[in-house]
Amino acid sequence: MSAIAEHLADRDDIEIGIVLSDRPDVTGLDRARAAGLPTEVVDWRSFAGRSAFTAAVCDAVEAQGCTFMVLAGFMRILAPEAVERFPGRILNIHPSLLPSFPGAHAVDEALAHGVKVTGVTIHVVDELVDNGPILAQHPVEVLDGDDVDTLHARIQAVEHRLYPRVVADFVLGRLEQR
């Protein structure tokens, strides 16, 4: 979130309408507030299920006049309603070269499988987990002696460079879904 906010800070053609979190105690909210961005918490624990939570997230985003959702560190699976309300307008980032290693444990799985290269994927969200059209990918070499922390740190460095550019290009219509 911080890398995206920094990248977009001086632009007049894109505005971050809200930084939303599913938990109140995340660093991203503090960073967003420090940057003067509006924030909101839609605490997933307050909802009976995924559908009600998803509706509240979509309502909060729409209430700010936002037309896109950009997920960063958002570890909740949204119900299909999100895709219905924001068709082709939800972006997600994933720490692997999809379709390899979808899901919450991509870095662990890459190491467990002994791959020599993993990476970063930015994709459009669809109804399935880590499945939508891929907009960009970038490889990250797995080094001898890597553990989850060292590999994840190198992946995050790539994410922080790549995601802000892809978000801007996608929102401005410079990238198309395949």
Which residue blocks in the chain are alpha helix, DSSP H? 2-8, 27-34, 50-63, 80-85, 106-113, 148-171
Catalytic entry in 7, 94, 123, 138: 94
Q: Which residues pair with 120 in a beta bridge?
A: 138
Q: Which residues pair with 121 in a beta bridge?
A: 94, 137
Q: Could you say which architecture CATH assigns to the domain 2-171? A: 3-Layer(aba) Sandwich (3.40)
pTM comes to 0.94
pLDDT above 80 (res 177): no
Predicted local confidence at residue 153, as pLDDT: 98
Could you tell me the residue ranges of all domains in the chain? 2-171
Condensed to tens digits (0 to 9), the pLDDT of residues 100-154 reads 999 999 999 999 999 999 999 999 999 999 999 999 999 999 999 999 999 999 9
Q: Is 152 annotated as catalytic?
A: no
Condensed to tens digits (0 to 9), the pLDDT of residues 46-61 reads 999 999 999 999 999 9
